[in-house]
Amino acid sequence: MTKSVKLEEKTLDLLQDINLDVNAGDTLAIVGSSGSGKTTLLSILAGLDLPTTGEVYLKKHSLHQCNEEQRSEIRANHVGFIFQQFLLVNSLTALENVMLPAELANMDNAEQLAKDLLTQVDLGDRLDHYPSQLSGGEQQRVGIARAFISKPDILFADEPTGNLDSKTGRNVADLLFDLNKQFGTTLVLVTHDLKLAARCQRQVIMDSGCLVEGKVEEIVEDAAEDIAEDIQKEQVESPAENLAQSKAASEG
């Protein structure tokens, strides 16, 4: 599969000779630097965009032959999304945001399912809050609940922790992987955060529009070491931080 765009006289190749299979239940990370084409790949895999040449299949649906409307229907029935910018609808409450995909998929008990999911992501008491009344981490938890409500066959997550600090990012990632395991959803994750990528069963690397095989384990190994280091550091720093906080509280 390829993807190119014409810019005036020139043709820009965004994706070149991509071959990728994702099995049901897999968790796959697409890593790569900015501009490497990973988001373009994700948008084609999710049926948001079409390849210039080649074929894309989602379950039995040949996405490359579907029009926008058919792809919409496929997305409603099979696909979930998590976005870096959260992309909650600002004028809907947390509960209504989560209900949205279930309603679009004509599920009967959308409201109850949404409430259960929000409780599960620890936002049971924030059902009526609007996105602007929630922190970034909370908004992304709403995003995660929204992604799982329609029990999608496949979930696409575009830099799900990209807009969060590392600690919140880790919590959100934990939640994502926990729910993914619970629902048995296929997960395709786009990130340049190798630590996050390391938590997936499979990793592929995008480099200048090509999928590069072979180096993945190596990079991820390095990343795994970094994670171990971080965890160690955190264990050392945390008592000091706790101490500082309690001191400030007693002084205040």
Partner 1 sequence: MAIWVKQSLRLLQHELRRGELTIICLAIVLAVATVFSLSGFSSQIKQSLINNSTSFIAADRVLQSSRPVEQSILQYSDENSLNRAEQIQMSSMVFAGDNMQISEIKVISNTYPLRGELLVRKHIGEAPVVEHAPARGTVWVEPSLLKTLNLSLGDKVEVGVSTFVIAGIATQIPDASFSLFTSGPNVIVNIDDIAATELIQPGSRLTYKYLFSGEINDIEAFEKWIKPQVNESQRWYDIKSRQSPLANALNRAEKYLSLASMLGIVLAAVAVAVASRRYSQRHQPTVAVFKAMGASLKHIRKLYLLHWSLLCLFSIGLGLVLGFILLQVGLFGVSDSLPVGDAKFSFYPFIIAVVTGLICAIAFAVTPIKLLIETSPLAVIRGFSAQPTVTSDSAAGNSLVKKGKSKLKNFGWQQLLPFSALFALLIMFSGDAKLSIALLLGGLIVALILLGLGRLFMNAGRSMGSRAGKAWHLAMANLRRRASENSVQLVSFTIAIKLLLLILVMKNSLIDDWQQQLPDNTANRFLVNITQQQVTSVGEFIDQNNIQASEFYPVVRGRLSSINDEKLIKQVTKEENKASDNGRRGVGRELNLTWRQTLPDKNIITQGQWWSENDTETLSVNKTESLGQVSVEQTLAKRLEIKLGDVLIFQIGSDQVEVPVTSIRKVDWQSLQPNFYMIFNTKVLADFPATYISSLYVKPEKTLDLQLFLNQYPTISMIDVDAMIGQLRSVIDQVSVAIEFILVLVVLAGSLVLVAQVQASMEEREREIAILRTLGAKGSLLRASVLYEFFALGAIAGTMASAAMELAVFVLQTQVFNMEASLHPLYWLLGIFVGAGFVGSIGYISCWRLLNMSSVTLIRRTM
User: Which residues of this chain interact with partner 1, rule CB under 8 A?
Assistant: 3, 5-8, 14, 39, 42-43, 48-50, 52, 67-69, 72-77, 79, 81, 83, 87-93, 96, 100-101, 103-106, 130, 132, 136, 146, 158, 163
CA nearest to 154, candidates 47, 55, 80, 66: 80
Residue type, 147: A
- Helix, coil or strand: residue 2: strand
Q: Which residue lies nearer to partner 1 by CB, 50 or 118?
A: 50
Q: Which residue lies nearer to partner 1 by CB, 84 or 180?
A: 84
Please provide the DSSP assignment of 106-117 as one string.
T-TTHHHHHHHH
* CA–CA dist 104, 81 (Å, integer): 14
Tell me the closest approach of the beta carbon of residue 179 to partner 1, in angstroms.
Answer: 17
Rg (CA), the chain: 20
Tell me the closest approach of the beta carbon of residue 130 to partner 1, in angstroms.
Answer: 7
Tell me the closest approach of the beta carbon of residue 164 to partner 1, in angstroms.
Answer: 12
Q: Which residue lies nearer to partner 1 by CB, 190 or 223?
A: 190
| Joined tokens for residue 252 | 């205040």
Cβ pair 163, 88 in contact under 8 A: no
Task: Identify the residue whose tokens are 């084609």.
Answer: 44
Helix (H) or strand (E) holding 216: helix 216-251
**Cβ atoms within 10 Å of 165's Cβ, excluding its own:** 10
Q: Which residue lies nearer to partner 1 by CB, 150 or 203?
A: 150
Tell me the closest approach of the beta carbon of residue 127 to partner 1, in angstroms.
Answer: 14
Plot region of 133 (φ>0 → left; ψ -120 to 50 → alpha; else → beta): alpha
Task: Identify the residue whose tokens are 């390095």.
Answer: 222
Tell me the closest approach of the beta carbon of residue 103 to partner 1, in angstroms.
Answer: 5
Q: Which residue lies nearer to partner 1 by CB, 73 or 116?
A: 73
Tell me the closest approach of the beta carbon of residue 236 to partner 1, in angstroms.
Answer: 30
Q: Which residue lies nearer to partner 1 by CB, 113 or 198?
A: 113
Tell me the closest approach of the beta carbon of residue 243 to partner 1, in angstroms.
Answer: 26
Q: How many residues does the chain have?
A: 252
Q: Which residue lies nearer to partner 1 by CB, 51 or 194?
A: 51
List all residues 6 or more positions away from 163 whose beta carbon is below 8 Å from its beta carbon: 84, 85, 86, 136, 140
